Amino acid sequence: MNEQPVIELYNVYLKSRRGAQVFKDLSFELKPGNTAFILGGAGSGESSLVDLLIGRCYAETGSVSVFGAAMKKRFFGSSRKGLNRIGGVGGIFSLMPSMTVSENITFPLILSGASKSVRNDRLFKMLTEFSLLKQASEYPSGLTRVENSLVQFARASIANQPLLIIDEPSAGLDKDTFERVAEYLVKASLSGRSLIILASEELELKIPNMQRYRLDGGALV
């Protein structure tokens, strides 16, 4: 029996707030456990694609479904039922400045209703895994760019959300840290999570079940 796709976009047409075309006949499908690496330069629509998937904007025509829920304005409540199943790094998934590192990391568990003991146990594991124990009480303003990125990956990992959206995974990272992030992405894929990786340049990633796409002229090719 075929598994329901995590993401389905069909003949999507989207305009910018200024009325310019962003997507035209955009169709895309992501199956459970698969990874899509999407290459796109400035103005190609990367941010708009993320906005479509999390309900920050809606298609003019066509359809967008995430975990089987249609992302439509008139179904505002139901379209967001699956959003706590999405983890993110980079772009709009930046850290909340008023929260400490520990609070940022555990935020997905709070949304899912996890108990305090579960939150504490998983937090310690994430702080250890991403070498962030010393930064646990820091606020984002006091972090280096590398530390900020690692906190976001820890937050994306803590709740085992089935879909991860990674925006520019190499941004601001040195070679060693990026290799560490690449290993994390492989591990996430092997655990069965679905990944969307958005980048403005080609990256050396060897992730199982990964397909490469390019945003060009409002479509994925």
DSSP string, 114-155: --HHHHHHHHHHHHHHTT-GGGTT--GGGS-HHHHHHHHHHH
Give the confidence band of 172 by pLDDT, cuts at 50, 70, 90.
Answer: confident
- pLDDT bucket at 79, cuts 50 / 70 / 90: very low
Mean pLDDT over all residues of the chain?
Answer: 92
Q: pLDDT > 70: what percent of the chain?
A: 94
The H-assigned helical ranges of the chain are 46-54, 101-112, 116-129, 145-158, 175-190
Residue 42 has pLDDT above 90, yes or no: no
Note the pLDDT of residue 80. 47
Where is pLDDT greater, at 43 or 21?
Answer: 21
Instruction: Write the pLDDT tens digit of every residue in 5-25.
Output: 999 999 999 998 888 899 999
Quote the CA–CA distance of 94 and 162 in Å, as a whole number.
19
Kindly state the tokens that stand for 44. 């190609």
Q: What angle do CA 70, 71, 75 make, to 5 degrees?
A: 80
Average of per-residue pLDDT across 47-51: 93
Looking at residue 19, its pLDDT comes to 85
Question: Would you list the domain boundaries of the chain?
Answer: 7-215
Count of beta carbons in the 10 Å neighbourhood of residue 14: 23
Spatial CB neighbours of 167, under 8 Å, sequence gap ≥ 6: 46, 50, 88, 89, 90, 91, 92, 93, 198
pLDDT of 77 reads 46
Residue 32 pLDDT exceeds 60: yes
Distances (CA, A) of 3 to 62, 67, 74: 22, 11, 27
Q: What is the dihedral of CA 59, 13, 195, 157, to 10 degrees?
A: -30
**Closest by CA position to 46, among listed 61, 26, 30:** 26
Give this prediction's pTM: 0.91
Average pLDDT over every residue of 34-42: 93
Write the pLDDT tens digit of every residue in 193-204.
999 999 999 999
Write the pLDDT tens digit of every residue in 135-161.
Answer: 999 999 999 999 999 999 999 999 999
Architecture per CATH, domain 7-215, reads as 3-Layer(aba) Sandwich (3.40)
